[in-house]
Amino acid sequence: MKDKDAFKDKINLMNIYNEAIEPQSTKEETARAVKILDAKYEAADLEKVVEENCQHLSDTQRMKLLELLKKHEKMFSGQLGEWKGEEVHFDLKPGVKPFRGRPFP
């Protein structure tokens, strides 16, 4: 419940109103983006990851996996990257709720 004094300030009142009418899907995606951006990122220790998580692989398979991971080590640097492709835009029909499904059956 909001403090009654929050309704006296016009800016606070508009923020409360906008928060109330914002679709749940937008709130969820905003929370998801904030969680991603606020997360602590650090470079992965690839050798440790393979050693601790790949005991089910043979020594040769672990070596090949580590070689592959090191080939793409920049992806595990702990830094967020940048989208370098074309901008993506989806036109939705007015009033239709987007469907989010699993990528496989």
Q: Which two tokens stand for residue 54?
A: 């790949």
Q: Which two tokens stand for residue 58?
A: 């043979």
pLDDT bracket for residue 3 (50, 70, 90): low
User: Tens digit of pLDDT for each residue in 32-73?
Assistant: 888 888 888 899 999 999 999 999 999 999 999 999 999 999
Mean pLDDT of the chain: 85
Q: Is the pLDDT of residue 1 over 60?
A: no
- pTM as predicted: 0.49
String of DSSP letters for 38-99: HS------HHHHHHHH-TTS-HHHHHHHHHHHHHTGGGGSS------S--------TTPPPP
